[in-house]
Chains A and B, each alone.
Chain A
C-alpha cells in the first residue's frame, strides 16, 4: 500500500507537482527527483545508459535528423526517411509549428534547478548505418543494436542495420523532455543498447472480434514505442474468418462476421505488413489448424470432419478432416498463397486444443485409424495431419511456429521449428520450457503473458516479474529461448477496449524481453519509468490506461 502511495506522486514526475510536498513523507524525496529532468526515463531500459546534468536545448524549428556522411544508407532510404518524419512529430509532440520557441543559446546559462544548460543547442541527430538495406523486411536475425551519444551539442546514432537505427530513434525521442517553460532539452547521454531476446511479440486475435485496420496500425505504433518486433496475427479462428483469400474468396464471404465490413482485404493486409516493416516489426500470421477452424468450414464445404450422432451425421462439424487428400490439396493451395502474401520466413501453424470427440464419432475416421494402425490413439491422427501440413509449409520454404501441443504429442517436425509455450502455471511452463529445449527445439514463452486475463490492481507487476530463462536447463538450452509474446485473446476485447487493456500492461513484457534482467528487477523504479512512459504514450495519442492514482500533463481528451 505504501508503495502505491509513493507511486501516486511519481506519476506527476514529468511536470513537477502542484500537490506539493504534503501527502506522504515518502513523496517528499520523490518530488525532489521531479525537479531533475527525467533523463533516466527510457522504456524499455537500455542495456547501458549514462547521463549527466549537462543539457542542451533543442529547437523544433532548427533540429534535424541527418544521415551521416559515411552511412551506408542515405536519403531515399524509405525506412529511415519515414522514421525521421515520424520521430520529429513524436519528439516534439507539443510543437505546433507556430511561433518560434525561445531557445536560450547564451553560453553558461543556468536553469531554475541550477543545472547548466549546455553551451549550444542540439541542432541535429546524425545517423550512421553500417549495412545497406532499406527495402527488406526485418527477420529473426536482424541486428537491433545501436549506440547513441549526445555530447557537446552533437547527437550521433550508429547502428549496423536500419532496424537498430529505429530502436535508437525511439530511445532518442524518449530522452527529450520539456521544461516548465516549454523548452525542449536533452541531457548529455551515452547509450549502448541491444535486445536481450530477438523475438519480442504481441498477439492480436481478429477472429473472436474483428479489429478495424486502424486499431491494428495503432497497436503497431505502440509496439514500436515499446521496442516489440513481432506482430503475431491470430487472424482466423472458430468464430470468424476475416482474411480475404484471392484463391478461396468464399472463406471470408461465408466465414467472416460480415463479408464486406468485417474482413481484411489484400490491400489491408499489405498495409499492415508495410506499416509494420517501417517500424521494424515482423508480421507472423497464424492460420491455426486442424482445430479452431469452425469458420473455415462455411466457405469450404468438405474441409471439416462431419460429426456423427450414432450412425448418422449430426449436422455439426469438427476439426479439419485429416484423412482426405482434398484437405491437403486445399491446404497446399491456401498456404502457397499465404506464404507469398506474408513475407516473413515464419508461419504460425497453431495446432492447439484439438478436440477428438468428433473424429471419434465418425465411422470413416475410425476406419482410417484402423488402416493406419493408429489404434484408438487420436493423437497419432493429429500428428499425421500436422506432419503433412509441416511438409507442405517446408516445401514453401517457410519455417513453422507451433503451439506446444504439437511438441507434447511428439509430432515429427523439422529441427528449426519454434515451439510456443502457452499452458499452465509457473512450474508447468518452466517444465515445458525445459523439455522443449532439451529436445533441441527453439522456444517462445507466452504462458505468463495472457494479457486478456485481467485482475483488479497493478497486474503489470506479475508480467514484469517473469524470468523467461528461469527453467532448469543448460546454457545451451537457454540459448534456444527466442523470446516471448504477450497475448491479447479476443473473447472480451474489441476496438472499444483493446488499447487501454493492452497498454501499458504489455509494456511490462516489452521491457522483460528487451532489457537486462539484473537492471530491471526493482518494481519501484520500474513503476516510475512506466508511469512516465504511459504519459508519453498518451501524448502520442495512444489511449494507455493509468497504472495507479495520479495524472499526466496532457490527459486523454477523447471518448
Chain B
C-alpha cells in the first residue's frame, strides 16, 4: 500500500502553515435532539419525560421469555460491562436514596432474545442479525433482539441514553428505538507487523470498537517487517521473523484471547496473511519460500515475493493455511495479494524459464495470477471464504462468487466499485478511510462525508457493497499513539457504516461526537479531542 501513500505525503507536505491559531472549519455545537448517541440509530424517538436510575436498585436482567438465560455467558458479561459503563466503577460509600415516588425510576432493563438460536456460544458472521429494539419506560425498559449480537448493540445504545444531571443523578428519557446497521461489514484494520502491538492495546481497541458498533477486526498480523504470529506448525516463522521471539509475538493463547474478547463484543476477527508480496519476514523462518533475486548471473542474496514455481511453496501454504483456518474461526480469511513487485521475479533465470514453459510471455501479472489462483484453491479446500485486495480482481484472477474484494486505491475509486460489483462480487471500501494519513485539523469530517454508494450502478450492484473498513497502517503507529490516533476519527467511519445514509448533518454529528469522545475517555479510552473544549472527566492515564 506504499505507492499511494507516497503521493499523499507530498500533498500533505504542501499544506501551508500560515497562522498560529489556524482554524479549520469548525462545526457549530448544537443541542442535538439525539443527545450523545453514536452512531445514530435508524429510528429514535426520545421523549422529554425523564426517569431516574439508581446504582443500588438498577439491574440488567434476562427477560422471562428470553431464549437466552443465565447460561448465556456472553450476555452475562455484557450486562456487567454495561452496568459498569453506566454507573462507573467506583463504589459509593452512601447508598443512593431509594426513590419512593413510583413512576419516576427505571429499575430494570430486561433483555429479550427472540430467536430460538440466540447464538450465545456462536461466532458473529457477515449474516449475523444485529437489529434490536429498545423501549425505555418505567419501571422496566425492554431490549428486544433476535440474537445476542443485536442485544450487544442495544446495550451500547442504552448506556448512551443515560446521562447525569448537575447533581450527579443519572437519568434516562422515555424512548423508543428501532435500530439495525446499514452495512453488515464494519471493520477496523490494525497492522501488527510494522510495529508490534501489545495485547493490551488490541483488547482496548476491541472495547472502543464495540462502543462504536464496529463488528470486524481485520488483523493485518504479518507483513514484510515482522512475523509476530506464532505458528504451531512452523514455529520458526516467528522465532526468526518477529522483532523478538518472546516479547514481540502473539502466542496461540494470545490469539485465542483476542478472538474470544472480540466474540464477547460481537466482533469478528479476520486475519490477513498477505502473499505473495509483503512477505520478507516469512523468508527468515522458512528457507526457500521466497524467490532469490539475481544480480546479473548470480543470486544477489536478497529475496523477492513468494516463489511461485516450486511445489514446496504450495505444500507449505497448504499446511500453513490449514492451521490458520482452524485457529481463526471466522468464515473468511484475508489473503492480501496487493503490491507485488515483479523486479525480483524478472531477475531470476528459473522464473524466466517457468514463464516460458507456461506461455506467460513477459507478462508477470500472469505469474502472479497463477500463484494466487493456487492459493485460492488451497484456501477453498479449508472450507473458508476469502477476502482479497483489489489488485487480485484487477488482474483477472478467477474468484469464487462469495469472494469479498477490498477496494483500497483512491484513484478511480468509483469506477473500481462499479467494475467489481458489475462482475457480481461483494466488496468493501477502505480507500477513503486510511486513518494513518494524518493532517492538521478536523479531518474526521472528511471521513464522515464519504458516501459508499455514490458510484454508478444498479440497485443489485449496490447491494454487493457490504461495508467498509477504517485502516490504521503501522508505519508511524505503535502502542504509544495508536488509540488517540484512531479515536474518535474512526468513529466518523462507524456512523457512516451504521446509520441511515441521510444522517449527514455535520453540526449535529459534531455535537454528538464531542460527547461520545468524552464518554470513551471516561471509559478509559484515550480518544483525542475534536477541537477546543473539555470533558468533565479528563484522561487520567499517561
B527 contacts A496, CB within 8 Å?
yes
> Is B541's CB under 8 angstroms from A499's CB?
no
The reply to whether B476 and A490 contact each other, CB–CB distance below 8 Å, is no
For the complex, is B141 an interface residue (Cβ under 8 Å from A)?
A: no
Q: Which residue of the partner chain A has the closest CB to B534?
A: A257
Q: CA–CA, A546 to B542, complex, Å? A: 17
Question: In the complex, which residues 261-318 of chain B have their Cβ closer than 8 Å to any Cβ of chain A?
Answer: 280-281, 283-284, 301-303
Say if the beta carbon of B89 comes within 8 Å of chain A. no
Q: Which residues of B contact A8 (CB under 8 A)?
A: 225
- Give the chain B neighbours of A425 by CB distance below 8 A: 16-17
The segment from B61-69, B71-79, B143-151, B437-445 found at the interface with A is B437-445
Establish whether residues B542 and A455, one from each chain, have CB atoms under 8 Å apart when the complex forms.
Answer: no
In the complex where A18-B240, A453-B440, A455-B438 touch, is A555 in contact with B198 (Cβ < 8 A)? Answer: yes
Smallest CB–CB gap between A459 and chain B, Å? Answer: 8
B195 touches A496 (CB 8 A): no
A284–B195 CA distance with the chains assembled, in angstroms: 38
A559 touches B243 (CB 8 A): no
CB neighbours of A454 from chain B (8 A): 438-440
Say whether B480 contacts A497, CB under 8 Å. no
Find B245's partner among A15, A18, A450 (CB 8 Å cutoff): A18
Contact A218 B533 (CB under 8 A): no
Q: Which of B12, B196, B281, B529 contacts A551 (CB 8 A)?
A: B196
Which residues in chain A, 22-53, are within 8 Å of chain B measured between CB atoms?
A: 22-25
A452 touches B201 (CB 8 A): no
Interface residue? B120 (CB, 8 A) = no
Q: Mark A275-308, 1 if CB is under 8 A from B, else 0.
A: 0000000000000000000000000000000000
Q: Are A261 and B536 in contact (CB under 8 A)?
A: yes
Residue of A nearest to B434 (CB): A456
Interface of chain A residues 444 through 490 with chain B (CB within 8 A): 450, 452-458, 487, 489-490
With A456-B8, A456-B436 in contact, do A497 and B534 touch (Cβ < 8 Å)?
no
Cross-chain contact A218 with B542 (CB below 8 angstroms): yes
Q: In the bound complex, what is the Cα–Cα distance between A407 and B440 (angstroms)?
A: 29
Residue B474 lies at the interface, judged by CB distance under 8 Å to chain A: yes
Flag the segment in B154-162, B342-350, B450-458, B518-526 that touches A. Answer: B518-526
Interface residues of A in 252-267 (CB under 8 A from B): 257-258, 261-262
Chain A interface SS verdict (over half)? loop
Q: Is A496's CB under 8 angstroms from B529's CB?
A: yes
Asked if A557 and B438 make an inter-chain contact with CB atoms under 8 angstroms apart, the answer reads: no
**B1-49: which have CB < 8 Å to A?**
2, 5-6, 8-9, 12-13, 15-23
Whose C-beta in chain A lies nearest to the C-beta of B227? A19
Return A19 CB to nearest CB of chain B, in Å.
7
Contact between A497 and B526, CB atoms less than 8 A apart: yes
Q: How far is the CB of A356 from chain B (nearest CB, A)?
A: 17
Residues of A within 8 A of B13 (CB): 455, 457
Q: Which residues of A contact B9 (CB under 8 A)?
A: 455-457
Q: Which residues of A contact B528 (CB under 8 A)?
A: 492-494, 496-497
Measured CB to CB, the nearest residue on chain B to A20 is B284
Q: B141 → chain A, closest Cβ, in Å?
A: 31
Shortest distance from the beta carbon of A473 to any chain B beta carbon, whole Å: 23
A455 touching B225, Cβ below 8 Å: no
The residue from A24, A209, A258, A494 contacting B536, defined by CB atoms under 8 A apart: A258
Residues from chain A with a CB closer than 8 A to the CB of B526 are 495-497, 559
What is the interface residue range for chain A against chain B? 35 or more
Q: How far is the CB of A516 from chain B (nearest CB, A)?
A: 27
Write out the residue numbers on chain A whose beta carbons fall within 8 Å of the beta carbon of B475: 548-549
CB-based contact A496/B476 at 8 Å: no
How far, in Å, is A57 (CB) from chain B's closest CB? Answer: 24
Distance between Cα atoms of A457 and B10 in the complex (Å): 10
- Choice from A208, A215, A458 contacting B542 with Cβ under 8 Å: A215
- Given contacts A455-B13, A456-B12, A550-B195, A209 and B533 within 8 Å (CB-CB): yes
Which listed residue, A495, A547, A556, touches B479 by the CB 8 Å rule?
A: A556
Q: Which residues of A contact B541 (CB under 8 A)?
A: 495, 558-559
Contact: B284 with A22, CB < 8 Å?
yes
Tell me the smallest distance from the CB of A82 to a CB of chain B, in Å.
20
Q: Considering residues B8, B480, B521, which has the most beta carbons from chain A within 10 angstroms of its beta carbon?
A: B480
Report Cα–Cα, A496/B531, bound state, in Å: 13
B301: chain A residues within 8 A (beta carbon): 25
Q: Chain B residues near A453: list those with CB within 8 A.
A: 17, 22, 440
Tell me the residues in window 498-527 of chain B with beta carbons closer than 8 Å to chain A beta carbons.
521, 524-527
Chain A CB within 10 Å, residue with most, of B16, B245, B528? B528
Taking a contact as CB atoms under 8 Å apart, the answer to whether A422 and B20 are in contact is: yes
Nearest-Cβ distance from residue B133 to partner chain A, whole angstroms:
34
A residues near B536, Cβ cutoff 8 Å: 258, 261
In the complex, whether B224 has a CB less than 8 A from a CB of chain A is yes
- Which of A210, A455, A543 is most buried by chain B, counting CB atoms within 10 A of its CB? A455
B237 CB within 8 Å of chain A: no
- Bound: A292/B511 CA distance, A: 24
For residue B111, give the distance in angstroms from its CB to the closest CB of chain A: 29
CA distance A501 to B303 in the complex (A): 36
Chain B residues positioned under 8 Å from A553 (CB to CB): 244, 247
The reply to whether B542 and A559 form a contact with Cβ atoms under 8 Å apart is: no
In the complex, A353→B200 CA distance in Å? 45
Q: Measured between C-beta atoms, what is the minimum distance from B142 to chain A in Å?
A: 34
Q: Check A492–B437 contact: CB distance below 8 A.
A: no
B248 at the interface (CB under 8 A from A): yes
Instruction: Evaluate whether A559 and B483 lie within 8 angstroms (CB atoms) in the complex, with A18-B245, A456-B9 already known.
Output: yes
Residues of A within 8 A of B240 (CB): 18, 20
Q: Is A239 an interface residue (CB 8 A)?
A: yes
Cβ contact within 8 Å between A549 and B195: yes
Q: Which residues of A contact B200 (CB under 8 A)?
A: 557-559
Query: How far apart are B117's CB and chain A's nearest CB, in angstroms?
Result: 35
User: Contacts A453-B440, A555-B478 known; A492 to B247 CB distance under 8 Å?
Assistant: no
Chain A residues whose CB sits within 8 angstroms of the CB of B542 once the complex forms: 214-215, 218, 495, 499, 541, 543, 558
Q: Determine whether B241 belongs to the interface, using a CB cutoff of 8 Å to chain A.
A: yes
Smallest CB separation, B370 vs chain A (Å) = 26
Given contacts A456-B436, A496-B521, A549-B195, contact A208 B532 (CB under 8 A): yes
Please measure, in the bound complex, the distance between the C-alpha atom of A536 and the C-alpha atom of B43, giving whole angstroms.
Answer: 51
Q: Which 5 A-B pairs have the closest CB atoms?
A: A500-B481, A497-B484, A496-B526, A257-B534, A551-B243
A-B contact pairs, 28 of them (CB 8 A): A20-B284, A23-B224, A25-B302, A208-B532, A212-B538, A258-B536, A353-B20, A453-B17, A453-B440, A455-B12, A455-B440, A456-B437, A456-B439, A491-B23, A492-B530, A495-B541, A495-B542, A497-B526, A500-B484, A546-B480, A549-B194, A549-B195, A550-B243, A553-B247, A556-B198, A556-B480, A557-B479, A559-B201
4 more contacts with CB within 8 A, not counting A454-B438, A558-B542, are A20-B284, A22-B303, A23-B280, A500-B481
